[in-house]
Structure 1
Amino acid sequence: MTDPIRTHDEPTPLGCDPADLARVEAIVRQSGTSFAAGMRVLPSYRRYGMYAIYAFCRIVDDIADGDTPSSLSGAGQIQERMAQLEAWHARIARLYNDETRDALDRVLHAAIRFFALRKEDFDAVIDGMTMDAGSPIVAPDEETLDLYCDRVASAVGRLSVHVFGDSSEHAKRVAYHLGRALQLTNILRDVAVDARTGRLYLPRDLLMRFDVPADPQQVLVAPGLAGVMRIMAARAQDHFREAFSSMKKCDRRAMIPARMMGGSYLAILNALERRGWDHVLTPSPVSKLGKAAGVLRAFAA
């Protein structure tokens, strides 16, 4: 691959065809999340770099969750998902050999060159999705849970901080801690939803410590579940604190999107803690105002 581009004087973001940029942005907007709006704070070339990363993540996540069209079921569908994710490893490898085939390829390739994105981080994301694509994860050991969080969240963070404009060691620490904070918050928020699909991301050692069965069908009514959730929430809070502390040592402007994301997710975790861990079946929605307040607190952290 050629050396990363260090300057940008192209007439369009990342020097890409406007039609390619529009196709990638459409993938982001069709996902129905607030991600596109959140990235509006970025200059256009960084924004489209993030759109490309998000589109990649969205597609491989849909494969892992079985949300892509398939005529197969059961073991056949699982094998199909694994093959599709393996194909993405090959597709990423082609990009690093300067081979592109469609709009997403071309915008991803431009982002890879412009921001010096690491192939290992794309591969880690795919490997994380592969962990979800096979048999459901049920009560992993601590090492497996941490590896999962690193792959599906912190690896995305490592890609993102490069696009945001800071590739320092401190920025890598932000990715490490913020990724884990966000993923643990997701696990805590979605424990009931995951249980209905046969998944249980809470670590086996903690479940055993609180006499909680390592069974998605029984975990929600186990008396000791609250103790497990409190410890996991404390871990998430620790990661948020470490992430915000590392942000102070990074480029201030580059960390604006990271602070926004961290603040909105910290608001979710705080709402879950206010609801209490004895009521995991009770929703704890956070209003836009609540998330905005969380973002403001993140900028003050």
Structure 2
Amino acid sequence: MLGCSSADLEHVRSIVTRAGTSFAKGMKILPAERRYGMYAVYAFCREVDDIADGDVQVPDRDLALKEWHERLDRLFEGTTQDALDRVLVATITRFSLRKADFAAVIDGMAMDAAGPIVAPDEAMLDLYCDRVASAVGRLSVRVFGDSSAEADRVAYHLGRALQLTNILRDLQEDADRGRLYLPRELLQRYNVPLDPQEALYALGLDPLARILAVRAADHFREARRAMQKCDSVAMRPARMMAASYRPVLTAMLRRGWRHPETPVKVSKAARVLRSLLAYYR
């Protein structure tokens, strides 16, 4: 499979399962070769994200991420040093993945590693969303089986939809880490303080958040339109991801942001049903 040994494939799979997310379960819908390709992409993202978040202890996070750029250069030259390298090279070769997309993910993690992001301007927020979400999407759609321009459009819009949804959902968690991903222009327009904790209790937070929620909904809609022009089977994982996340955005709009610390409640049964319907469309 992918021309890799069973031991190398198991190593990459173990990185995914140790992360404790639902990603591994979700990727079971893919054929084995594509599934392990996605495991390799996820393992790469997991490693650079752990550096950025400080979950892996390194003397210098910025230097560690720069070293990943150098490692990426070697991978695209076919030089490998360990199991992850070998499966990544096989995945890159098999699915014609682009170095620029991997590099964008690393640069997105470097933005977080440089210090808490607080009130970025609109351009920086969009760049951040592209690097940490849409770039992952551009890698993923190729592994899923579609490398068309429309598949890249899916990645562009769905990545932004998912990341904006995460930002709106995680305001309290991000504030506890000293982060505030809401754009400076909107914060100033609605008189919301630029301090992450103070922003949570500002009267203007709710109308501000609703603007971003509408943007996220627009991206979900544009992603769906692009999916309709893509290979239907290849887009199954993307459709299912959108179907799983869209109810979260709807639930937040229903709850509002007067009390952003209140958990968002989404029916698990409804999310499962939407995902199943998305699979068969």
TM-score range normalised by the length of the shorter chain: over 0.9
1:293 aligns with 2:237: no
The answer on whether the counterparts of 1:46 and 1:164 sit within 8 Å (CA) in structure 2 is yes
Secondary structure at the counterpart of residue 273 of structure 1: helix
The answer on whether the counterparts of 2:237 and 2:279 sit within 8 Å (CA) in structure 1 is no
Moved more, 237-246 or 269-278: 269-278
Match of 2:263 in 1: 283
Within-5 A mapping of 1:140-289:
140-289=120-269
* One-letter amino acid matched to 1:199: R
Instruction: Give the whole-Å Cα distance in 2 for the aligned partners of 1:187 and 1:205.
Output: 16
Shift of 1:295: 2.1
* One-letter amino acid matched to 2:223: A
Match of 1:46 in 2: 34
Instruction: Give the whole-Å Cα distance in 1 for the aligned partners of 2:214 and 2:34.
Output: 33
Aligned with residue 36 of structure 1, among 6, 9, 24:
24
Cα deviations across residues 22-61 of structure 1 (Å, max 9, x unaligned)? Answer: 0000000000000001000100000000000000001100
Shift of 1:84: 0.7
The answer on whether the counterparts of 1:261 and 1:295 sit within 8 Å (CA) in structure 2 is yes
Instruction: Give the whole-Å Cα distance in 2 for the aligned partners of 1:44 and 1:183.
Output: 28
> Structure 1: where are the runs of 5+ without partners?
1-12, 71-76
Match of 2:57 in 1: 69
1:21 aligns with 2:1: no
The answer on whether the counterparts of 1:244 and 1:298 sit within 8 Å (CA) in structure 2 is no
Given the superposition, is the C-alpha separation of residues 271 and 174 from structure 1 closer, same or farther in structure 2, using an over 3 Å criterion? same
* One-letter amino acid matched to 1:68: V
Secondary structure at the counterpart of residue 217 of structure 1: helix
Match of 2:64 in 1: 84
* One-letter amino acid matched to 1:62: D
Aligned with residue 45 of structure 2, among 27, 42, 57:
57
Instruction: Give the whole-Å Cα distance in 2 for the aligned partners of 1:167 and 1:155.
Output: 13
TM-score normalised to structure 2 length: 0.97
Shift of 1:122: 0.2
Instruction: Give the whole-Å Cα distance in 2 for the aligned partners of 1:293 and 1:227.
Output: 31
Within-5 A mapping of 1:99-178:
99-178=79-158
Match of 1:5 in 2: none
Cα deviations across residues 179-229 of structure 1 (Å, max 9, x unaligned)? Answer: 000100110010111011110000000011111011112100111000111
Instruction: Give the whole-Å Cα distance in 2 for the aligned partners of 1:53 and 1:31.
Output: 14
> Structure 2: where are the runs of 5+ without partners?
none
Instruction: Give the whole-Å Cα distance in 1 for the aligned partners of 2:221 and 2:135.
Output: 19
Instruction: Give the whole-Å Cα distance in 2 for the aligned partners of 1:191 and 1:296.
Output: 30
Shift of 1:279: 2.1
Cα deviations across residues 47-81 of structure 1 (Å, max 9, x unaligned)? Answer: 000000000001100110011135xxxxxx5xx00
Shift of 1:271: 1.7
Cα deviations across residues 98-136 of structure 1 (Å, max 9, x unaligned)? Answer: 100000000000000000000000000000000000121
**Equivalences, count:** 281
The answer on whether the counterparts of 1:64 and 1:81 sit within 8 Å (CA) in structure 2 is yes
Secondary structure at the counterpart of residue 221 of structure 1: coil
* One-letter amino acid matched to 2:175: A
Shift of 1:89: 0.5
Instruction: Give the whole-Å Cα distance in 2 for the aligned partners of 1:271 and 1:87.
Output: 41
Instruction: Give the whole-Å Cα distance in 2 for the aligned partners of 1:170 and 1:24.
Output: 29
Given the superposition, is the C-alpha separation of residues 279 and 290 from structure 1 closer, same or farther in structure 2, using an over 3 Å criterion? farther
